[in-house]
Amino acid sequence: MYGRRASQLLKEQASCEAGQLTPFNSDAFEQVIKECDEHNLQLRSLIRKIEDQNLDIQTTRNEDHFGAVIHHLSLIRNKRCLMAYMYNRAEIIQSLRWKLGPVLPQEIQEKLNYLEEEYFKNHSTVIESYMSEMDIDLTVDMVPPKDPYIRVRVLDEIGEVCLDDHSISLSKHSLHFLRRTDAEPFISQGLMEEFVE
């Protein structure tokens, strides 16, 4: 059936939890692209056939015309599916920049194709230029603040870091009492967690 493969591509995406990426399905993607070419070939040859019979392409309503319409519509459907697939993924990629910062963890990077990696970097710079033009960092303060300080536990060796005006050694498993705005970037990268007793 025409268009089935493209819809499967989207179904795969829809069955995944919202906001999560599935690994880029390049096999299915390529097959749909190939399908598009085939539809186009069929479409062209049917149009040529109508023209060869010296019929008016605008008004002819024979079997060749309807065949061509079906190929045209299938092509459009495939295009919409491919675009939706790419676009929905791009939206998730945008949201990752907000949630995780400018560097993606390995396991997410593996799910992107190379154009998407490129897009993530490009979009990242767009957000960064806005922030520098406005002179404000929008990637902190993702949740409404309760207390200006929070207690955190370091999950991974971070080492010596300079915060505000003093440097502090963030070694693995150590507990610290930090300003929330200082700790947030580490937390979003998974290097720290809020410590709740």
Partner 1 sequence: MASSLGLGSGMWSEEAEIDASLLEGTTDVELLKQAWRNEKAAPEILKFQGPLVLRIREQIKLLEETVDEFRENGVDDLVVSLYQMDLDRTLFLLRSYLRIRLQKIEKYTIHISKTDLWNHLSEQEQKFTERCREKMEKHLEQSVLARLPHGYQSIMKQSISSEEDDMVPEPQLDTFVFCKTKDAVGAFQLDDTGDDIVDLVADDLYVIRYKSIKGLVDASQIDLV
Instruction: Please give the residue ranges that form the binding site for partner 1 (CB under 8 A).
Output: 33, 36-37, 39-40, 72, 75-76, 79-80, 82-83, 86-87, 90-91, 94, 98, 113, 115-116, 118-119, 122-123, 126-127, 129-130, 133-134, 136-138, 140-141, 144-145, 147-149, 180-181
Q: Least Å distance between CB 163 and partner 1? A: 15
Rounded Cα distance between 72 and 53, Å, is 20
Q: Least Å distance between CB 60 and partner 1? A: 16
Q: Measured from the CB atom, is 28 or 155 closer to partner 1?
A: 28
Q: Least Å distance between CB 84 and partner 1? A: 10
Q: Measured from the CB atom, is 144 or 159 closer to partner 1?
A: 144
DSSP codes joined into one string, 59-127: T--SHHHHHHHHHHHHHHHHHHHHHHHHHHHHHHHHHHHHHH-SS--HHHHTTS-HHHHHHHHHHHHHH
Q: Least Å distance between CB 161 and partner 1? A: 21
Q: Measured from the CB atom, is 1 or 136 closer to partner 1?
A: 136
Q: Measured from the CB atom, is 38 or 156 closer to partner 1?
A: 38
Rounded Cα distance between 57 and 159, Å, is 73
Copy the structure tokens of residue 128: 């960064």
Q: Measured from the CB atom, is 110 or 137 closer to partner 1?
A: 137
Contact 167, 160 (CB under 8 A): yes
Write the Ramachandran bin of 190: left for phi over 0, alpha for psi from -120 to 50, otherwise beta: left
Q: Least Å distance between CB 159 and partner 1? A: 27
Contact 91, 21 (CB under 8 A): no
